[in-house]
């Protein structure tokens, strides 16, 4: 293992192991379950009996059956007939992500949330205050996450974000790895070129045709040769193969672009009552995610797809930003009534955008104390559902309707790395 040199920038990349599945497992164990989903073939996915359902996360035992993230559930079950499938709970996942965020912030304020389950942490300044090595700090963080939060993480350590991220993808789970510049020949260049960040399914075959099969071969290729075949992307590939990245850890990440939620209905919807129940179910889920992320939305969008696959959408800007379920549903309901002509529907969606932090926003002179009572009610319901399950608080309109009170799960919360992208 390379020795840390005083004066080097030290970046950690923290990646939750099988995040959605781990968070589901921990939550269930904390609420009385005896089966640990992480120890049996299991996946987080949609509803097998409806017309939507893919594998969002898988356990290590499920991976041994060849189950892959992104494949449809019926294919996954054909590989493992005893596979356990649980539905996603994005509100819970945001809560877990925020708890991890708060723990990491104790080690450095230079913290960047790359995605819901990945963080970059610049501990360069922390090292000057602690008599610990980067590896010791990383192991302390990993141990605290396991002890305090109940799940495991992989942590990669390096002098830049790129190498730290690559290091965290080495052997899993619950591991700490380094990948400093002097370790590149023995740890990075030996990897298949398809494992390099930014080398996707389309790029890898093109590199193979150029007789480039390892990261080392790519690193030693002529940059002009790569530019001739990949244009400016060739420069980026060459830099990444050589571990070059100067992007900073940005603690002021841009807010979520939007929070969206959609569902393909298990049956064709041809009456307004059922359509509005599906819409309310979507708004319930998406608005709880807004609150978990401490965000307010000022633009509401509704989309519908008919059985003939024609697609329509409308949006509206609210007077003031909000995370209140009732207010967001009223806007969504109005938009839906403008959109729908009564033809049977097979898909509905709702999304919230123009987001801002819930601690700083411009209030309206038309707001009254009722909005604060509504916010308090929403917060109470969120807390009860988190502690006792989603079915612990259900609106009366859903009882005996055959429509789930919380539906969907398309999350748009975090854009990808920028310069690193």
Provide the pLDDT for residue 196: 93
Give residue-wise pLDDT tens across range 118-154.
Answer: 999 999 988 878 888 999 999 999 999 999 999 999 9
What is the rounded distance in angstroms from the CA atom of residue 296 to the CA atom of residue 378?
A: 13
Lowest mean pLDDT among 10-14, 322-326, 376-380: 376-380
Say if 1-188 and 189-241 have the same CATH topology.
no
What is the rounded distance in angstroms from the CA atom of residue 269 to the CA atom of residue 275?
A: 6
Provide the pLDDT for residue 394: 79
Q: Which helix (H) or strand (E) holds 42?
A: strand 42-47
Task: Kindly state the DSSP code that residue 326 receives in the 8-state scheme.
Answer: H
Position 389 pLDDT exceeds 80: no
What is the rounded distance in angstroms from the CA atom of residue 9 to the CA atom of residue 17?
A: 25
Spell out the residues 6+ positions from residue 134 whose beta carbon is closer than 8 angstroms to its own.
4, 10, 12, 123, 127, 157, 178
Provide the pLDDT for residue 360: 45
Position 16 pLDDT exceeds 80: yes
**Is CATH 3.40.640.10 what the domain over 1-188 is classified as, yes or no?**
no
Query: Quick one: fold of 189-241?
Result: DNA polymerase; domain 1 (1.10.150)
Q: Catalytic residue positions?
A: 118
Q: Thinking of the domain 258-398, which architecture would CATH place it in?
A: 2-Layer Sandwich (3.30)
| Residue spans per domain, the chain | 1-188, 189-241, 258-398
Provide the pLDDT for residue 408: 59
Distances (CA, A) of 73 to 47, 66, 354: 8, 13, 34
**Band of the pLDDT at 257, cuts 50, 70, 90?**
confident
Structure token digits, residue 51: 């017309």
For residue 5, the tally of other CB atoms under 10 A from its CB is 10
Provide the pLDDT for residue 229: 93
Residue with tokens 């892959």: 68
- Average of per-residue pLDDT across 49-62: 79
Give residue-wise pLDDT tens across range 283-314.
Answer: 998 898 888 877 889 899 999 998 888 889 99
What is the rounded distance in angstroms from the CA atom of residue 142 to the CA atom of residue 20?
A: 18
């Amino acid at each position: 293992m390379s020795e840390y040199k005083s004066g080097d920038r030290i970046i950690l990349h923290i990646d939750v192991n099988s995040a959605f599945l781990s968070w589901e497992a921990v939550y269930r164990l904390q609420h009385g379950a005896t089966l640990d989903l992480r120890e049996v073939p299991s996946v987080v996915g949609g509803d097998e009996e409806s017309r939507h359902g893919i594998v969002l996360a898988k356990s290590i035992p499920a991976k041994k059956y060849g189950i892959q993230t992104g494949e449809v559930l019926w294919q996954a079950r054909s590989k493992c007939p005893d596979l356990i499938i649980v539905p996603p709970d994005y509100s819970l996942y945001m809560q877990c992500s925020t708890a991890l965020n708060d723990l990491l912030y104790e080690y450095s304020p230079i913290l960047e949330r790359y995605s819901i389950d990945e963080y970059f942490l610049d501990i360069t300044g922390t090292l000057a205050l602690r008599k610990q090595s980067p590896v010791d700090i990383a192991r302390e963080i990993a141990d605290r996450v396991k002890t305090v939060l109940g799940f495991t993480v992989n942590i990669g350590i390096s002098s830049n974000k790129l190498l730290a991220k690559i290091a965290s993808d080495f052997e899993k789970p619950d591991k700490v790895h380094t990948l400093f510049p002097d370790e590149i020949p023995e740890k990075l260049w030996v990897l298949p070129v398809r494992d390099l960040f930014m080398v996707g399914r389309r790029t890898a075959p093109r590199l193979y045709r150029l007789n480039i099969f390892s990261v080392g071969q790519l690193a030693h290729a002529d940059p002009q040769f790569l530019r001739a075949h990949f244009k400016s992307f060739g420069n980026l590939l060459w830099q990444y193969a050589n571990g070059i990245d100067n992007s900073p850890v940005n603690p002021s990440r841009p807010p979520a672009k939007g929070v969206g939620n959609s569902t393909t209905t298990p049956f064709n919807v041809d009456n307004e009552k059922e359509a509005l129940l599906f819409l309310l179910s979507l708004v319930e889920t998406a608005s709880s995610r807004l609150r978990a992320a401490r965000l307010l939305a000022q633009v509401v969008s509704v989309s519908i797809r008919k059985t003939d696959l024609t697609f329509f959408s409308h949006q509206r800007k609210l007077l003031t930003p909000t995370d209140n379920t009732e207010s967001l549903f009223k806007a969504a309901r109005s938009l839906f009534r403008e959109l729908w002509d009564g033809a049977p529907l097979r898909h509905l969606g709702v999304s919230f955008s123009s987001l801002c932090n819930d601690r700083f926003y411009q209030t309206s002179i038309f707001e009254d104390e009722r909005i604060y009572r509504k916010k308090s009610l929403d917060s109470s319901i969120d807390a009860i559902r988190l502690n006792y399950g989603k079915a612990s608080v259900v609106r009366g309109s859903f009882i005996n309707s055959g429509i789930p009170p919380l539906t969907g799960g398309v999350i748009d919360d975090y854009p990808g790395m920028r310069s690193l992208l």
